[in-house]
């Protein structure tokens, strides 16, 4: 069975790595080719992710680069189509809801190539988010939908999708976490010493809604400066965000706020596993902290990862200064009880195997 796997953004690598590893255990059944669209590319972090995830370099790189949603989608379609025509895959596997995932799904639909969508059925119910539009269109178009949670199944059924297309297999990102968590924890002593860590708040900001608007970013930074007087804040900052902070003179004058370079997968996983609290706008971080049983606050009006809310590890918080401070203080006073905490169903590290079992049928 010839399978074309598509990645376009850094979280996609974490999700596709366990599928490739599982395929390598079944060489009589599967032959694969990894295509990197180049939708997101960070020279400083690119190679470290491949090394730490133990992924071979992509067989094909489309080198699309940065652009508007429409431009990126169009460029991926134009460059991916000849690859799909030439390779003649039995299946194309796509993950998540980025523009690359939608673009390749649409190309395959026109060519009559079967598509399997990993991480299907997630909904924020906010059509102002580009990824929400992508998710809906991908799920309406794909031939098999692999869902991470049972409520994702419900979302798809409510949208009129045939139940025979839907397969609840668990969360693929947890496969990578389970495999690499022991290795990540080995890095903790060095990280703890380097950054002088005890109790700390770990912060990650990636979404344009929180970074590109100067007022919103200022509100978040002022809140972090205030709470850092109570608990140290460790904030890995990407180059784009750092530039915006510098250009607009947004750096707080006081507080225990530690800006650092972005981390690789293993270091960041170790920091999540030992954090007192995580503040984020990343869906993947919401899921990872839920598996780890670490308290998480998500900056935003909604989340597509509702199971993290129902499990009690994650809460939504507005980007306003006072709301952020109150939410951090309240969460610090109400820790998760590890003795009673239970992980979501099928978040067990075996999702890739279940996916390939379904495809083999």
Domain chopping of the chain, boundaries: 2-171+346-360, 180-332
Is the confidence at residue 179, as pLDDT, over 70? Answer: yes
Q: CA 8: distance to chain centroid? A: 12
Which tens digit of pLDDT belongs to each residue from 249-279?
888 877 789 999 999 999 999 999 999 999 9
- Percent of the chain's residues with pLDDT above 70: 98
Phi, psi of 97 (to 5 degrees): -135, 25
Fold of 2-171+346-360: Rossmann fold (3.40.50)
Is the confidence at residue 345, as pLDDT, over 60? Answer: yes
Higher per-residue confidence, 165 vs 41: 165
SS3 129: coil
Provide DSSP, 332-353: HTS---TTT--PPTT-SS-HHH
Task: Of 208, 181, 173, 178, give the one whose Cα is nearest residue 13.
Answer: 173
The strand pairing partners of 277, in sequence order, are 201
230 close to 329: Cβ distance less than 8 angstroms: yes
* pLDDT of res. 42: 64
Which tens digit of pLDDT belongs to each residue from 35-60?
999 877 665 566 788 889 998 889 99
Is the confidence at residue 4, as pLDDT, over 60? Answer: yes
Is the confidence at residue 131, as pLDDT, over 60? Answer: yes
Rounded Cα–Cα distance for residues 338 and 335 (Å): 9
* pLDDT of res. 339: 74
* pLDDT of res. 208: 86
* pLDDT of res. 303: 96
Percentages of the chain per state (helix, strand, coil), in multiples of 5? 50, 15, 35
Query: What token pair was written down for 275?
Result: 């954090």
Among 47-51, 312-316, 342-346, the minimum mean pLDDT is found in 47-51
* pLDDT of res. 341: 86
* pLDDT of res. 297: 98
SS3 259: strand
Mean pLDDT of 112-132: 96
Band (pLDDT 50/70/90 cuts) for residue 71 is very high
Count the Cβ atoms, other than its own, within 10 Å of residue 262.
Answer: 18
Mean pLDDT of 346-360: 97
* pLDDT of res. 135: 98
- Was domain 180-332 assigned CATH 3.40.50.2000? yes
Band (pLDDT 50/70/90 cuts) for residue 101 is very high
């Amino acid at each position: 069975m010839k399978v074309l796997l598509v990645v376009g953004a850094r979280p996609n690598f974490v999700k596709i790595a366990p599928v490739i590893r599982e395929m390598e255990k079944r060489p009589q059944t599967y032959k694969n080719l990894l295509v990197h669209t180049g939708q997101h590319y960070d020279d400083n972090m690119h190679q470290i992710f491949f090394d730490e995830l133990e992924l071979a370099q992509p067989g094909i790189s489309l080198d699309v680069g940065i652009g508007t949603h429409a431009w990126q989608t169009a460029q991926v379609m134009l460059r991916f189509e000849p690859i799909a025509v030439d390779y003649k895959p039995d299946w194309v596997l796509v993950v998540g809801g980025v523009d690359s995932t939608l673009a390749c799904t649409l190309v395959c639909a026109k060519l009559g190539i079967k598509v399997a969508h990993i991480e299907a059925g997630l909904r924020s119910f906010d059509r102002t988010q580009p990824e929400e539009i992508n998710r809906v269109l991908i799920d309406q178009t794909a031939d098999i939908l692999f869902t991470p949670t049972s409520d994702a199944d419900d979302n798809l059924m409510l949208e009129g999708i045939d139940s025979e297309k839907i397969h609840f297999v668990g969360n693929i990102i947890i496969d990578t976490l389970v495999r690499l968590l022991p290795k990540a924890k080995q890095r903790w002593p060095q990280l703890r010493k380097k950054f002088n860590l005890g109790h700390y708040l770990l912060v990650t900001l990636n979404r344009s809604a929180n970074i590109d608007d100067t007022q919103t970013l200022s509100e978040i930074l002022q809140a972090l400066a205030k709470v850092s007087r109570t608990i140290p804040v460790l904030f890995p900052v990407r180059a784009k965000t750092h530039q915006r902070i510098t250009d607009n003179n947004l750096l707080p004058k006081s507080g225990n706020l530690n800006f650092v370079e972005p981390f690789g997968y293993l270091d960041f996983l170790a920091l999540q596993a030992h954090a007192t609290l995580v503040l984020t706008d990343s869906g993947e971080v919401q899921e990872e902290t839920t598996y780890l049983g670490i308290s998480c606050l998500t900056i935003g009006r909604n989340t597509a990862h509702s199971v993290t809310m129902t499990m009690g590890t994650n809460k939504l918080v507005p980007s306003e200064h006072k709301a952020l401070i109150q939410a951090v203080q309240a969460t610090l006073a109400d820790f998760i009880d590890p003795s009673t905490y239970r992980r979501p169903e099928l978040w067990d590290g075996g999702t890739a195997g279940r996916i390939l079992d379904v495809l083999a049928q």
